[in-house]
Structure formats: C-alpha cells, structure tokens
Amino acid sequence: MKGFDAEFLDLEHYIQVITQRIWEGRRIDDIHRYYGADCAVETPGGVSLGAGPVVDSTRATLAMFPDRELLAEDVLWSGDDEHGFLSSHRILSPMTHMGDGAFGPASARRIHARTIADCVCLDNRVIHEWLVRDQAAIARQIGLHERDLAQAWLAQRGPIAKPPMPPVPGGYRSHIASGALARAYRGLYEQLWHGQGLDGVLQLHDRASVMAAPAGQSLYGHLAIRDFWADLLTAFDGVQFDLEHLAEVRRAERNPAVAMRWRVRARHAGPGRYGEPSGNTVEIMGISHAEFANGRVLREWLLVDEVAIWMQVLAPRA
C-alpha cells in the first residue's frame, strides 16, 4: 500500500496491528504515530480534534477496564491509497470493570461490549474517525440502566452539544456502493425510518437471522428483529435519515457483507424504548454491519449509543 509501512499487508492487517499495539500492547504513545495531528473523531456524544484527546480517552478507558481486549470480529474496508481507505472495524471487547470513572465506582464485574470504528486511513495514519460504542451494554452489565447513567452524565457534563464534524482532509469522498446487496440494505433502512412499514425486515432477513442489537441484546429470528424495529420506531416522528457511508464487501471463502454508517434526526414524540415522549429533537448516529447468504441477511450488528439517546431525551427543553 502506497504511503504505508512495508510491514502492513493490506488495510485490514494495518488496522488490526495498530489496534493491538495501542490497546493490548499498551503502546498508547503510538497514537501520535498512527493518528494524524489534526484527526477529528466523532462519537454520538461529541467531537474531538487531534491525537491528544484520543490518548486521554484511551488512558481513561484502560484505567476503568485495565484488562480490556479488542477482538476484531471484522474489518469491512473500501477506498484506495490515493484518496484514502475507509475501515469499518467491528470489535468485541471482553473486560473487567476494575477502576472508578465515567461508569461509577468499580464493580469488579466481567463484561463485554461492541464498538464499530469507521476510520479514514491515508499515508500510514488515521486522519478521520467516526466511532460508536454500545455504552448501554456496559451500563447494564455493571448494574445500571442506561437511562440512569444518562441522567448522571447530564448532571456531570450538561446536555450534549457537539460542534460540526470538520470535513475529511485531502481528496477522500464517502463511498456509496451500488451493488445489489448494498442497495437492498440501504433501502430497508430508508423504508423503516420513513415509516413505510416493517414488511421489509421479513423480506430481506433470513428466517434464522441473528441481530446483535443495542444494549447488548441478541435477537434470534426475523420476527424478533421486526419487533425490535417496531418498538424503536414508535418513539420518533419527523425523521430525517441520512446515509453517510455504504460499502459492499466480497471476499473469497466468506459471505458477502455490507457496512453502512447512517444518521437520523427526529423528534421524540411517542412512547416506547425511550419512555414517555419528551418532544426533544434527537440525533442518532448509527453504524450497521450485515452478513448475507443467498441474498438475505443472515447476521447483523446494529450499533447505536443509547446512553447518548437518553441524554437527549432527558435534557431540559430550551
């Protein structure tokens, strides 16, 4: 790969190696080597600029979860070494809550949670990143409801007030795949969020499909996945759905897969997953991965941060 160290075989290898070195190898200062000096990182709760905040966040997380592992479930990548690659890296992290911090006093509980990090990579560095972690899964496994954690963070930090994410430097442009699987998966989300019914879930998902849903939930079968969407969607109206990244990945001896980053802005207007309607405007930043077999979704991973959603639902109205 042009511009990358010769040791890296391809982008998937690059992402897995630098992740292992920084996190499990505890080479935290390597962040300055592998992240651009002006790298912007967006999470559902905020935007940071530069490698320094990434270092600080890494140290804070390891103080709470010192044995955290980062198991690479998949890296779905697109792009090139001229304008930039996009790595959509899905990680499962087993860890023990051994230190006080953002999640309260150490509970000593053994937990696991998923993260998906979408990283733009160019010339051996991460130059832009979008990251979604299942914070609700962490909360529930240490004995908190995500609503209660959101209320505590509101009291400590105040409402979420994100600055705009700066544009990606250089010539990178978001990839929007046009393959049949990518189009079908995108179409399902557009249908769901635009209130056009739930039948698309049963049509696109295999009857034996499995979804890793928010809050660490596992859903088995397309009927359970449909019911999840029914409960989620009743909470919102006035939806604006924006597609930000869409890649269709085909690899030898593996099922084809789709990675999609999306964003919803909507009004919390109905009862459901997030309690009684608040009337607040909510932004949901999501990243989804889907694995297909015979043209239908067999396995799916839907990442949103429900603590961030609850913070917006519970925030006092201006």
What pLDDT does residue 171 have? 80
Q: By three-state DSSP, how is residue 200 classified? A: helix
Segments of the chain scoring below 70 in pLDDT = 318
What pLDDT does residue 169 have? 87
What pLDDT does residue 79 have? 94
CA distance 127 to 39: 5
Domain 11-157: CATH architecture, name and number where available = Roll (3.10)
What pLDDT does residue 317 have? 83
| N- to C-terminal Cα separation, the chain | 50
Domain 180-314: CATH architecture, name and number where available = Roll (3.10)
Strand bridging mode 125-133 / 110-122: antiparallel
Do the Cβ atoms of 22 and 31 come closer than 8 Å?
Answer: yes
What pLDDT does residue 170 have? 79
Tokens of 180: 């049949």
Do the Cβ atoms of 12 and 75 come closer than 8 Å?
Answer: yes
Which amino acid, 304? V
Domain 11-157 matches domain 180-314 at the CATH topology level: yes
Do the Cβ atoms of 145 and 135 come closer than 8 Å?
Answer: no
What pLDDT does residue 301 have? 98
Let me know how many helices (H) and strands (E) the chain has, helices first: 9, 12
What pLDDT does residue 256 have? 98
What pLDDT does residue 255 have? 97
